[in-house]
Amino acid sequence: MSQIWWVNQKVKIDGRVANEVVWSPTGEKESWHWATMWEVEPGDIIVHYTDQHIVAVSEANNGAVPSANPFADELQDEWTEEGKRIDVSLRWLEAPIAKTDIALDARKEAAKNRGPFQRDGIRVKQGYFFPVSQLLWDALKEAAGLGELESAADDTQLAPEIDGATDVERLALVRREQYQLRKYLLQRGELRCGICGREMPARYLHAAHIKTRSEATERQRKDIENIVMWACTLGCDQAFECGDISITPDGTIALSSLDRIFLEQTFGHLEGQMAPAFNAGNAHYFAARSNNFLI
């Protein structure tokens, strides 16, 4: 059974927190919240916290091994050269989890047993590396909106990388937005591609952003009802994603002029048809997507 850990990371390299390596000093002045790193075993899960948010979840590739400070060039602080490192396989969360989204009870409890929070549950301890209790881990999953992780295990979108229950949870955290979007679309009931209109099993359907996710505002991203649709993995999702298929302002399907022969062979029967996903509520998202590809 994997242990869960919490690391406070502030070091920024290229504008991002340098998360692929977890490192802390050793020696006489080794603080208890640095020494905790020695307890890590390969496969343990680490949540990465910075700027009031959990921003990534990783898996430890190895236990701690002696290592000089890999950040020595970037840092000019009091940390010594001698230390230990753990290399991790890191996944950024699609949607970071705010500290304040975690249940206060769990945060307060996490002051005990070397946990990451102070007794008020409001502040995170000044320190580096802390064990995460089952209660805090459960609260984290709850904060991420992952109440029913059993169904995540059945989710073939996640399946190829899954190795054990904790890994299911780790990947579900990483992809919680996709998970929540799927959950919404599944609840809506209709298992049908929003572009080609074919009905099919959920495992062939992807929850696709109509307006490109990276260009959507936070408010638009939360407009789940309108900004997502099912797009089938049999071609529509990819074709829509890269602009080979677009939806015109009147809701009909248009094909790009690139690779015209291939596109006609593959999607020609859809050209000029109404896209089933199109409606008055999401027309502006389709328009925003099309604008990406206008030259």
- Residues in 26-45 that interact with Zn ion by CB under 5 A: none
Q: How far is the CB of 258 from Zn ion (least distance, A)?
A: 19
Q: Which is nearer to Zn ion, 35 or 234 (CB)?
A: 234
Residue 140 is a binding residue for Zn ion (CB under 5 A) = no
Only segment of 30-38, 178-186, 224-232, 287-295 that touches Zn ion (CB under 5 A): 224-232
Least gap, CB of 270 to Zn ion (angstroms): 8
Q: Between 123 and 269, whose beta carbon lies closer to Zn ion?
A: 269
Kindly tell me which of 143 and 196 has the beta carbon lying closer to Zn ion.
Answer: 196
The nearer residue to Zn ion, 70 or 276, going by C-beta atoms, is: 276
**Residue 146 makes contact with Zn ion by CB under 5 A:** no
Q: Which is nearer to Zn ion, 8 or 238 (CB)?
A: 238
Residue (136 or 232) nearer to Zn ion, CB: 232
Interface pick for Zn ion out of 143, 229, 232, 270 (rule CB under 5 A):
232
User: Which of 196, 207, 247, 253 forms a contact with Zn ion (CB under 5 A)?
Assistant: 196
47 part of the interface to Zn ion, by CB under 5 A: no
Name the residue nearer to Zn ion (CB basis): 162 or 191: 191
- Token pair recorded at residue 162: 């899954």
Classify burial at 107, counting beta carbons within 10 Å of its beta carbon; exposed 0-12, middle 13-18, buried 19 or more. buried
Q: Residue 82, Cα to own-chain centre: how many angstroms?
A: 33
In angstroms, the CA 159 to CA 252 distance is 34
Query: Can residue 136 be called a binding residue for Zn ion (CB under 5 A)?
Result: no
Closest approach, Cβ 205 to Zn ion, in A, equals 8
Smallest separation, CB 235 to Zn ion (Å): 6
Which residues have CB under 8 Å from 277's CB, separation 6+? 194, 195, 210, 229, 230
Least separation in angstroms between CB 198 and Zn ion = 6
270 lies in the binding site for Zn ion (CB under 5 A): no
Residues between 175 and 194 with contacts to Zn ion, criterion CB under 5 A: 193
Question: Which residues from 234-253 bind Zn ion, rule CB under 5 A?
Answer: 236
Task: Tell me: does residue 172 bind Zn ion (CB under 5 A).
Answer: no
Give min distance, CB of 236 to Zn ion, in A.
3
Comparing CB distances to Zn ion, the nearer of 25 and 276 is 276
Cα–Cα nearest to 226, from 203, 247, 209: 209
In the complex, least distance from residue 241 CB atom to Zn ion, rounded to whole angstroms: 12
Instruction: List residues binding Zn ion (CB under 5 A).
Output: 193, 195-196, 232, 236
